[in-house]
């Protein structure tokens, strides 16, 4: 008997609700990447290495690169930056191909740098006249400067098909995010705006969605009836690493929880989308965030549902770390936290009463980047079993992408004794760096992994009341020695 397979129906091209489709001829793969803030730290440390890995792997041929910044750099100095940022992709990248490396060298040789004041009227427009479109305009700039640049540029100065790529933080409050959204909306359609969150790499997002929606056993249990809590943790052993100028005004809450961890939470909590089209996925993410509050809906007790702390002097490995307040560039008056934790509740039928605990911090004793789903205990364990009846836990690791399931089984040895075992698996990973994954979506004109405008506003709406309570010192500032797991009284500091 011959088995036949029906052809797969194509996934339709979709656009966000309220955003008209792009005009014919305005889409297509990006021809030129223009980086504003090209002489800055972000560009050299993260953005350019991501570009290099992407091109060296053979996934972005034909791209031109233009750097622009306020610094008066010579062509030789720009090439020196490219040499340093591209070095690993040209020598040690196992995913690189011979053709990809040749393409990267071609792009590097043709790349140029131009000094420009992007806040001056007409300056950005003049730069864009010299490049081939469609263009991805990447704002690797402080948020205030990015906003000023977008205020002065005119829609007619943007080449057809231009995509605006905005770094986080997107605004500094719900009001400022809304204002920036309005500024961008007069320049391009919503589906031509990429609000970058490098945590939303394609492998991370699809690993979570594949695990949930392709396995009936899990999705059947993915609700408040079966899950006790969800923890999303991003602990780093890194300290300030010369970033006090930014971090001392942001802190762990604004740097990580407000953006990255809320987005991961929304993907963990979203309902199954009909397709992997950007409209279906991003609309379901938005629905979760609209339903979310810190603490149960209606509460204002941020002492019970949020925690903050700051590291003191200690040791991480063989490195001595000073008290955060003694770090260069830190102003004690800012009251900056280096470790933050909030309990978010998704106030809908599926998740009523389940805390999503989002935690992120620096200078901790171990790096821990994972989501942990703790299932509720069985309603009745038959009398006669011995050993600990530990909670079943599902760990989803982010970088490396791993899956670990902790649960209890009989033996070995006494068949009546329960022992803890782990099932482990490696999940799909992308050989390019996180910024390479995000840029791949930008260059392919695919907004799936970009943060939509309304969700950027919702993220600020969720956290703003807690941040206000912290600023008013309504929530005490704990401390923890650098190199420790965190404050002793925090449950997340004690769990392994």
Span of 211-215, 274-278, 427-431 with lowest mean pLDDT? 427-431
**Mean local confidence (pLDDT), 114-137:** 93
pLDDT at 4: 37
Q: Is 118 annotated as a binding residue?
A: yes
The pLDDT confidence band at residue 430, using thresholds 50, 70 and 90, is: low
Rounded Cα gap, residues 199 and 449, in angstroms: 9
List, as own/partner pairs, every contact residues 15-18 make where C-beta atoms lie below 8 angstroms and the sequence separation is at least 24, other chains included. 15/189, 15/190, 15/191, 15/278, 15/279, 16/190, 16/191, 16/278, 16/279, 16/282, 16/283, 16/447, 16/452, 17/279, 17/283, 18/190
Tell me whether residue 380 is one of the annotated catalytic residues. no
**Mean local confidence (pLDDT), 187-201:** 86
- pLDDT of residue 217 exceeding 90: no
pLDDT at 495: 63
- pLDDT of residue 463 exceeding 80: yes
**Mean local confidence (pLDDT), 152-166:** 93
Q: Is 178 annotated as a binding residue?
A: no
Other Cβ atoms within 10 Å of 442 Cβ, number = 20
Complete DSSP assignment for 119-147: TSTTHHHHHHTTSPSSEEEEE-S-HHHHH
Q: Is 84 annotated as a binding residue?
A: no
Tens of pLDDT, residues 5-19: 333 333 333 333 333
What sign does the dihedral 352-356-357-358 (CA atoms) show? negative
pLDDT at 493: 79
- 372 three-state secondary structure: strand
Rounded Cα gap, residues 353 and 374, in angstroms: 14
Rounded Cα gap, residues 437 and 204, in angstroms: 10
- pLDDT of residue 412 exceeding 80: no
Q: Is 202 annotated as a binding residue?
A: yes
- Domains (ranges, CATH) in the chain? 32-195 (3.40.50.720), 202-430+452-494 (3.30.360.10)
pLDDT at 27: 52
pLDDT at 307: 97
pLDDT at 425: 85
Tens of pLDDT, residues 8-58: 333 333 333 333 333 333 456 899 999 999 998 889 888 999 999 999 988
- pLDDT of residue 206 exceeding 90: no
Q: Identify the active-site residue in 260, 305, 380, 395.
A: 260
Q: Is 70 annotated as a binding residue?
A: yes
pLDDT averaged over the chain? 87
- CA angle, 276 then 375 then 225, to 5°: 80
Rounded Cα gap, residues 16 and 446, in angstroms: 12
Q: Is 34 annotated as a binding residue?
A: no
Q: Is 454 annotated as a binding residue?
A: no
pLDDT at 26: 41
pLDDT at 496: 56
What sign does the dihedral 151-154-157-159 (CA atoms) show? positive
């Amino acid at each position: 008997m011959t088995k036949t397979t029906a052809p797969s129906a194509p996934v339709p091209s979709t656009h966000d609700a309220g955003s008209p489709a792009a005009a014919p001829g305005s889409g297509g793969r990006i021809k030129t990447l223009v980086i504003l803030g090209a002489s800055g730290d972000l560009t050299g440390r993260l953005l350019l290495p991501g570009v290099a890995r992407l091109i060296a792997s053979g996934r972005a041929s034909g791209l031109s690169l233009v750097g622009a910044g306020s610094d008066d750099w010579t062509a030789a100095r720009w090439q020196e930056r490219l040499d340093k940022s591209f070095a690993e992709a040209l020598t040690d990248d196992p995913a690189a191909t011979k053709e990809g490396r040749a393409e990267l060298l071609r792009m590097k040789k043709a790349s140029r740098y131009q000094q420009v004041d992007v806040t001056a009227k007409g300056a950005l427009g003049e730069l864009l006249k010299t490049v081939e479109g469609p263009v991805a305009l990447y704002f690797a700039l402080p948020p205030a400067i990015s906003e000023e640049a977008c205020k002065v540029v005119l829609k007619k100065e943007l080449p057809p098909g231009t995509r605006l790529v905005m770094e986080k933080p997107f605004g500094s409050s719900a009001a400022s995010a809304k204002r920036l959204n309005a500024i961008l909306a007069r320049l391009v359609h919503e589906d031509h705006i990429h609000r970058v969150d490098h945590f939303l790499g394609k492998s991370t997002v699809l690993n979570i969605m594949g695990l949930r929606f392709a396995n009936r056993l899990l999705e059947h249990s993915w609700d408040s009836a079966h899950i006790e809590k969800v923890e999303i943790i991003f602990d780093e052993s890194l300290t300030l690493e010369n970033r006090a100028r930014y971090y001392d005004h942001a802190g762990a809450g604004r740097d990580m929880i407000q953006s990255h961890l809320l987005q991961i939470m929304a993907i963990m909590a979203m309902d199954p989308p009909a397709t992997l089209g950007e409209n279906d996925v991003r609309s379901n993410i938005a629905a979760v965030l609209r339903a979310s509050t810190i603490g149960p809906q209606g509460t204002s007790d941020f002492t019970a549902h949020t925690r903050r702390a700051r590291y003191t002097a200690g040791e991480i490995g063989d490195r001595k770390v000073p008290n955060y307040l003694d770090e260069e560039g830190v102003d004690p008056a800012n009251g900056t936290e280096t470790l933050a934790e909030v309990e978010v509740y998704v106030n809908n039928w599926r998740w009523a009463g389940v805390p999503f605990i989002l935690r992120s911090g620096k200078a901790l004793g171990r790096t821990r980047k994972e989501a942990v789903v703790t299932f509720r205990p069985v309603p009745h364990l038959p009398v006669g079993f011995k050993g600990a009846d530990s909670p079943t836990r599902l760990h989803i690791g982010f970088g490396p992408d791993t899956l670990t399931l902790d649960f209890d089984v009989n033996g070995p040895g006494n068949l009546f004794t329960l022992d803890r075992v782990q099932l482990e698996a490696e999940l799909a990973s992308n050989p390019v760096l996180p910024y390479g994954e995000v840029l791949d979506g930008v260059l392919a004109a695919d907004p799936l992994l970009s943060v939509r405008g309304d969700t950027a506003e919702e993220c600020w709406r969720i956290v703003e009341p807690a941040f206000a309570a912290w600023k008013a010192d309504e929530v005490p500032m704990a401390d923890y020695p650098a190199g420790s797991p965190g404050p002793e009284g925090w449950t997340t500091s004690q769990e392994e």
